[in-house]
Amino acid sequence: RKEVEQDPGPFNVPEGATVAFNCTYSNSASQSFFWYRQDCRKEPKLLMSVYSSGNEDGRFTAQLNRASQYISLLIRDSKLSDSATYLCVVSPYNQGGKLIFGQGTELSVKP
């Protein structure tokens, strides 16, 4: 079983749609959680950190359920520019900031 698993995708949605990405992780000692965005043939960039209380940044909402070891990302009112691969990332406790990535879910927003 992979340490971080995501929906396989791809997701093809029209502009303005709401899309949700799901992610589960296997290591209960995981400390920090993130969503990264990666454009085609580019490096990953931090989209947002994920906190136990849930957090929102504009059209993006991230949620964490430690009991279920589940992370989600909701994108409202999708834009063409949201097209990218979204990577769920977990950082285990006391492992020096090592990042464990899911395989990524590709999102394509169409006009």
Work out whether 100 is an interface residue with other proteins (CB under 8 A): yes
Q: Applying CB under 8 A, which of residues 22, 27, 32, 108 lies at the interface with other proteins?
A: 32
* Among 18, 26, 28, 95, interactor with other proteins by CB under 8 A: 95
Nearer to other proteins, 39 or 77 (CB): 39
Q: Which stretch binds other proteins (CB under 8 A): 13-21, 61-69, 70-78, 93-101?
A: 93-101
Does the protein bind other proteins through residue 102 (CB under 8 A)?
yes
**Residue 59 region by backbone torsions, left for phi larger than 0, else alpha for psi between -120 and 50, else beta:** alpha
Q: How far is residue 65's CA from residue 40's CA, in Å, rounded to a whole number?
A: 30
Q: List interacting residues with other proteins (CB under 8 A).
A: 4, 31-32, 42-46, 87, 91, 94-104
